[in-house]
């Protein structure tokens, strides 16, 4: 795989419009997106977990995915960077377009996709290595060519962006596991940033954290959206309302064969979705929870 | 006691307070009984192992009754010393060499000198001209390389070749400590009642001395048909070579297969079949592996296992290579299974983290999964290899020699191994051999412990680097 961003098909530096022009992809209804799904179905074996998801995520925005448990939020999120490939039974139908390229096309290497579209998980999962190595490793395996001091700068930069530098700058050689839960999650965010992605997926990144740590991560997300597109799954509607620009509501329904298949109900600007939802189901869900 | 709330309807299904107290004490009693019985089982295990170790050690040391061919006192007084004051050890090296020169044949003397010289500045048994000729030959003996025998070495030679103690009766350690006179009486009675058993010896020739069957000398001496001087050097070296070949084969192959099965194999029918077979192979008796080794390694692959492919070698395939590979095959299933378990125990969140950063599968496995799995892999491997060291049956089948005195020089040498040596010695009727077998068992145990300790240190290194 070619490491120089200029020459790859998946060019995150290109403006979305250009990318669409190059890829020959027509813009979706709601404008050109860095990442788009088109009639995406995801299966686990024979079980259809989500059906017919079409949505477009925009640059420098935070999009939130909300919905009841089991409606397929994590499934959709994992499909966006092919993390679902790690589940042997998982299968995706339809398209996911990243800068116009269908990431499920035969000639696309999922390894490259995951480098461009990073992921932060529900439970903080730092490597059992030093804080420094936690961040440096991703760069190394992706062919980082800089000197030792370049690497130090990279690590420092990532930690600063993740608002962790001041807390760990004196103990970079200590294990990542020695940090508190909230610090570990920020370390995971720093680790994701360090490989220079342009989209970051976060699956309930705060659900294992206390309210103060949660607040720090939320502030961090707001800072990060200057440079990245962020898609976050959350079960916490206040969180979605606080941080996201646009919110997607997923619901799950029994289909005719008795399967519980999730689907996208609506995807609107966050203030619209929480004040004047288009769909009855959305309104029920948000009022039910808020009330 | 805390009052149970009686609010819900289900409360009537619970015992009343009084009943509950009764049940509670019954429950804790049952817990204590179970705990005690587990303790009992642990005790049985510890006692069993303790008895095993005790009998081995008990046989490895003790009093022996010897008849010397030449009494050390006589040797000493021949030099004009008073045997009551001076003992053999007090003689200097020149005198000892002199004693040796006076007793052994010149042929034996020359052989000893070619093995290692007695003095740096002069030759004792060999003429200078002959020595130069021998050392100029294509294969000069080890004595030509310049080493000189120490006084202790010469003393050993004198004991072995001049004093020539012949062990006529042996005793165990505990009996020797607590009842040495019982042993002496026993020997005396035996001489009275059954003199023919001792040939020409008479009781007044008998001397009693302590003997450590298990000693450094025992470890470093080659095999011999005389129990007084027999050692396990050949067998120890054979066992070490076997371990090396076994580990070199079983660890890379086993860990590699485990990585493939755990990380890369898709759950297809063929892979399931392979997995099932590996699990079953772990239970196959070792003698079957021996038969496989004999048929395939010794016979079919003879050009390889005898080393003739590489231009060196043994007359047939009954070499360390065959035996080591057989033991390697034997340990392979256990190495695979325990490595698989260790790899499976690595949290999948680490794999997701690695893959999520754009690492390939192998990069993730290599840098994130394996480092965490290695302590577990090592634990399983240690156990498997430890078992292999003690294996006897397959070695007999692939042709371990029962009596060789030449140390193995490489993977294509004929060999014997400690368990084979032990097995053979225990089958001899004379009691001395049983003590040698016990001492050899002790050597085997020490070898095992050393290997385990090395592996544990390695494992802890890894774990420490992890955390
Ligand atoms: N690895 C998997 N294998 C099989 N089914 C799965 C797997 N992961 C999730 N599912 C199923 O897919 C559906 C959606 O799950 P998920 O995406 O985790 O929902 P959410 O994140 O919204 O709670 C659920 O019915 C769940 O049981
Ligand atoms: Mg989820």
On the CB side of B55, CA atoms within 13 Å amount to 7
Q: Does B33 touch chain A (CB under 8 A)?
A: no
Residues of B in contact with A129 (CB under 8 A): 466
Confidence of residue B257 (pLDDT cuts 50, 70, 90): very high
Residue B227 inside a domain? The answer is: no
User: Does some domain include residue A282?
Assistant: yes
Is B265 near chain A, with CB under 8 Å? no
Q: B302 in a domain, yes or no?
A: yes
Query: Which residues from A are below 8 Å from B349, CB to CB?
Result: 121, 123, 125
CATH of the domain at B399: 1.10.3720.10
Residue A242 is part of a domain; what is its CATH number? 3.40.50.300
Clarify whether residues B333 and B376 are in a common domain: yes
Residue A52 lies in a domain: yes
The answer as to whether B114 is a domain residue is yes
Q: How many domains does chain A have?
A: 1
**Taking residues B313-325, what's their average pLDDT?**
87
Please write the tens of the pLDDT for every residue from A140-194: 999 999 999 999 999 999 999 888 999 999 999 999 999 999 999 999 999 999 9
Cβ–Cβ gap B358/A86 under 8 Å: no
Does residue A219 form part of some domain? Answer: yes
Q: Which residues line ligand 1 (CB under 6 A)?
A: A 44, 49, 69-75, 87, 89, 260, 262
Atom of ligand 1 nearest to the CA of A89: 3
SS (H, E, C) chain A: CCCCHHHCCCCCCCCHHHHHHHHCCCCECCECCCEEEEEEEEEECCEEEEEEEEEEECCCCEEEEECCCCCCHHHHHHHHCCHHHHCCCEEEEEEEEECCEECCCCCCCHHHHHHHEEEECCCCCCCCCEHHHHHHHHHHHCCCCCCHHHHHHHHHHHHHHCCCHHHHCCCCCCEHHHCCHHHHHHHHHHHHHHCCCCEEEEECCCCCCCHHHHHHHHHHHHHHCCCCEEEEECCCHHHHHHHCCEEEEEEEEECCCCCEEEEEEEEEEHHHHHHCCCCHHHHHHHHHHHC
Residue B28 lies in a domain: no
Domain that holds residue B255: 233-466
Letter string b/e over residues B78-90, b meaning 16 or more CB atoms within 10 A of that residue's CB? eeebeeeebebee
Q: Do A114 and B347 touch (CB under 8 A)?
A: no
- The reply to whether A187 falls in a domain is no
Both B108 and B160 in one domain: the answer is: yes
The shortest C-alpha distance from B262 to chain A (Å) reads 13
The answer to whether A116 contacts B358, with C-beta atoms less than 8 Å apart, is yes
Question: What's the confidence (pLDDT) of residue B83?
Answer: 82
Asked if the structure places residue B54 within a domain, the reply is no
Same domain flag for B330 and B394: yes
Say which range, A196-210, B297-311, B419-433, has the weakest mean pLDDT.
B297-311
Q: Is A122 an interface residue toward B (CB < 8 Å)?
A: no
Average pLDDT over chain B reads 89
B205 lies in a domain?
yes
Beta strands A229-233 and A62-66 are parallel
Q: What's the pLDDT at A2?
A: 41
B229 has pLDDT over 80: yes
CA pair distance A97, A101, nearest whole angstrom: 5
Give the gap in angstroms from C-alpha A287 to the nearest C-alpha of chain B. Answer: 33
- Which residues is A202 bridged to in the sheet? A120, A232
**Gap between the Cα atoms of A186 and A171, Å rounded:** 15
**Does residue A188 sit within a domain?**
no
pLDDT of residue A14: 44
Domain limits for position A225: 19-126+201-286
**Mind listing the pLDDT tens digit for each residue in B385-410?**
988 998 989 999 988 777 787 888 88
Q: How far away, in angstroms, is A67 Cα from ligand 2 center?
A: 10
Residues B118, B191: one domain? yes
Task: Evaluate whether residue A212 is within a structural domain.
Answer: yes
Is the Cβ of B267 closer than 8 Å to some Cβ of chain A? yes
Q: Do B161 and B249 reside in the same domain of the chain?
A: no
Whether B8 has a pLDDT exceeding 80, the answer reads no
B259 & B140 share domain: no
Q: How many Cβ pairs closer than 8 A exist between chain A and B?
A: 69
- pLDDT in the model for residue A27: 36
Check residue B256 and give its pLDDT: 96
Residue B273 has pLDDT above 80, yes or no: yes
ipTM of the shown complex: 0.85
Nearest to A264 by CA among A41, A25, A78: A41
Q: Are residues B244 and B343 in the same domain?
A: yes
Q: For residue B356, give how far its alpha carbon lies from the nearest alpha carbon of chain A (Å).
A: 5
Walking along chain A (291 residues) 10 residues at a time, the average pLDDT comes out as 43 43 37 82 93 91 93 95 92 93 92 94 94 95 93 94 92 94 94 93 91 90 91 92 94 82 93 91 78 31
Q: Are residues B91 and B203 in the same domain?
A: yes
More confident residue, B349 or B268: B349
Residues B162 and B240 reside in one and the same domain: no
* Domains held by chain B: number: 2
pLDDT at B105 over 80: yes
Residue with CA closest to ligand 1 atom 7: A44
Under 8 Å between Cβ of B116 and B147: yes
- Does residue B369 belong to any structural domain of this protein? yes
Is the Cβ pair A114, B351 closer than 8 Å? no
Q: Are residues B438 and B397 in the same domain?
A: yes
Shortest Cα distance, chain A CAs vs residue B361, angstroms: 9
- What average pLDDT does the segment B69-97 reach? 86
Identify whether A28 is part of a domain: yes
Q: Which two tokens stand for residue B284?
A: 């196959």
Alpha carbon distance B115, B103 (integer Å): 18
Report whether pLDDT(B286) > 50: yes
Q: Does B387 touch chain A (CB under 8 A)?
A: no
Q: Which of A64, A74, A248 to mutate to test the pocket of ligand 1 (most atoms within 8 A of CB)?
A: A74
The answer to whether residues B125 and B77 belong to one domain is yes
Residue-level pLDDT at A17: 40
Q: Which pair of tokens denotes residue B39?
A: 């303790």
CA Rg, chain B, in Å? 31
Inform me whether the pLDDT recorded for B108 exceeds 70: yes
Instruction: Pick the atom of ligand 1 nearest to A73's CA.
Output: 22
Find the mean pLDDT for residues B58-67: 93
Residue B149 lies in a domain: yes
In a domain, A14, yes or no: no
Q: Are residues B121 and B253 in the same domain?
A: no
């Amino acid at each position: 795989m070619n490491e120089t961003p200029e020459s790859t098909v998946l060019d995150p530096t290109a403006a979305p419009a250009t990318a669409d022009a190059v890829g020959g992809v027509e813009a979706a209804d709601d404008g050109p997106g860095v990442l788009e799904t088109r009639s995406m179905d995801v299966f686990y074996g024979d079980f259809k977990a989500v059906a017919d998801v079409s949505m477009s995520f925009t640059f420098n925005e935070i999009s939130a995915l909300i919905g009841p448990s089991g409606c397929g939020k994590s499934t959709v999120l994992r499909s966006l960077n092919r993390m679902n490939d790690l589940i042997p039974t998982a299968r995706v139908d339809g398209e996911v377009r990243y800068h116009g390229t269908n990431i499920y096309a035969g000639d696309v290497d999922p390894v490259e996709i995951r480098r461009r579209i990073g992921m932060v998980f529900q439970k903080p999962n730092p490597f059992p290595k030093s804080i420094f190595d936690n961040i440096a490793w991703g760069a190394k395996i992706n062919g980082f060519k800089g000197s030792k001091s370049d690497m130090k700068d990279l690590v420092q930069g990532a930690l600063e962006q993740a608002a962790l530098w001041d807390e760990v700058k004196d103990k970079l050689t200590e294990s990542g596991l020695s940090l508190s839960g909230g610090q570990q999650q920020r370390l995971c965010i720093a680790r994701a940033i360090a490989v220079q992605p342009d989209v970051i997926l976060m699956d309930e990144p705060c659900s294992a954290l206390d309210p103060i740590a949660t607040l720090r991560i939320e502030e961090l997300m707001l800072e990060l959206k200057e440079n990245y597109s962020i898609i976050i799954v959350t079960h916490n509607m206040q969180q979605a309302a606080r941080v996201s620009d646009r919110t997607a509501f997923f619901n799950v329904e029994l289909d005719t064969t008795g399967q519980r298949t999730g689907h996208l109900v609506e995807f609107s600007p966050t203030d619209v979705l929480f004040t004047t939802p288009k769909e009855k189901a959305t309104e029920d869900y948000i009022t039910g929870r808020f009330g | 006691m805390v009052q149970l709330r009686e609010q819900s309807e289900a409360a009537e299904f619970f015992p009343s307070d009084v009943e509950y107290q009764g049940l509670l004490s019954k429950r804790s009693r049952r817990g204590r009984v179970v705990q005690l019985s587990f303790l009992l089982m642990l005790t049985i295990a510890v006692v069993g192992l303790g008895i095993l170790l005790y009998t081995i050690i008990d046989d490895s040391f003790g009093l022996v009754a010897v008849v010397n061919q030449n009494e050390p006192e006589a040797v000493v007084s021949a030099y004009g010393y008073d045997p009551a004051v001076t003992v053999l050890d007090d003689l200097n090296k020149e005198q000892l060499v002199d004693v040796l020169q006076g007793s052994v044949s010149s042929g034996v003397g020359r052989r000893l000198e070619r093995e290692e010289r007695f003095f740096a500045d002069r030759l004792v048994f060999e003429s200078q001209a002959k020595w130069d000729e021998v050392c100029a030959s294509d294969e000069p003996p080890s004595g030509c390389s310049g080493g000189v025998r120490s006084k202790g070495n010469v003393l050993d030679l004198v004991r072995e070749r001049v004093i020539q103690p012949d062990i006529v009766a042996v005793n165990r350690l505990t009996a020797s400590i607590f009842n040495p006179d019982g042993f002496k009486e026993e020997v005396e009675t035996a001489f009275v009642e059954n003199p023919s058993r001792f040939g020409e010896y008479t009781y007044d020739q008998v001397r009693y001395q302590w003997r450590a069957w298990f000693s450094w000398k025992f470890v470093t001496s080659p095999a011999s048909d005389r129990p007084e001087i027999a050692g396990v050097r050949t067998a120890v070296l054979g066992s070490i070579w076997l371990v090396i070949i076994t580990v070199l084969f079983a660890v890379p192959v086993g860990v590699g297969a485990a990585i493939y099965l755990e990380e890369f194999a898709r759950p297809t029918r063929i892979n399931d079949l392979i997995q099932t077979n590996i699990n079953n192979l772990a239970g196959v008796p070792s003698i079957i592996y021996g038969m496989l080794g004999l048929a395939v390694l010794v016979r079919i692959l003879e050009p390889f296992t005898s080393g003739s492919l590489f231009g060196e070698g043994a007359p047939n395939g009954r070499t360390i290579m065959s035996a080591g590979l057989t033991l390697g095959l034997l340990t392979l299933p256990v190495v695979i299974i325990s490595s698989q378990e260790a790899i499976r125990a690595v949290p999948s969140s680490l794999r997701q983290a690695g893959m999520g950063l754009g690492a390939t599968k192998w990069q993730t496995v290599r840098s994130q999964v394996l480092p965490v799995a290695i302590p577990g892999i090592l634990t399983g491997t240690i156990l498997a290899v430890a078992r292999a060291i003690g294996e006897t049956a397959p070695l007999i089948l692939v042709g371990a020699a029962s009596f060789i005195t030449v140390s193995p020089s490489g993977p294509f040498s004929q060999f014997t191994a400690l368990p084979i040596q032990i097995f053979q010695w225990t089958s001899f009727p004379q009691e001395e051999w049983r003590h040698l077998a016990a001492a050899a068992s002790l050597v085997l145990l020490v070898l095992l412990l050393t290997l385990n300790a090395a592996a544990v240190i390695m494992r802890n290194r890894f774990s420490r680097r992890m955390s």
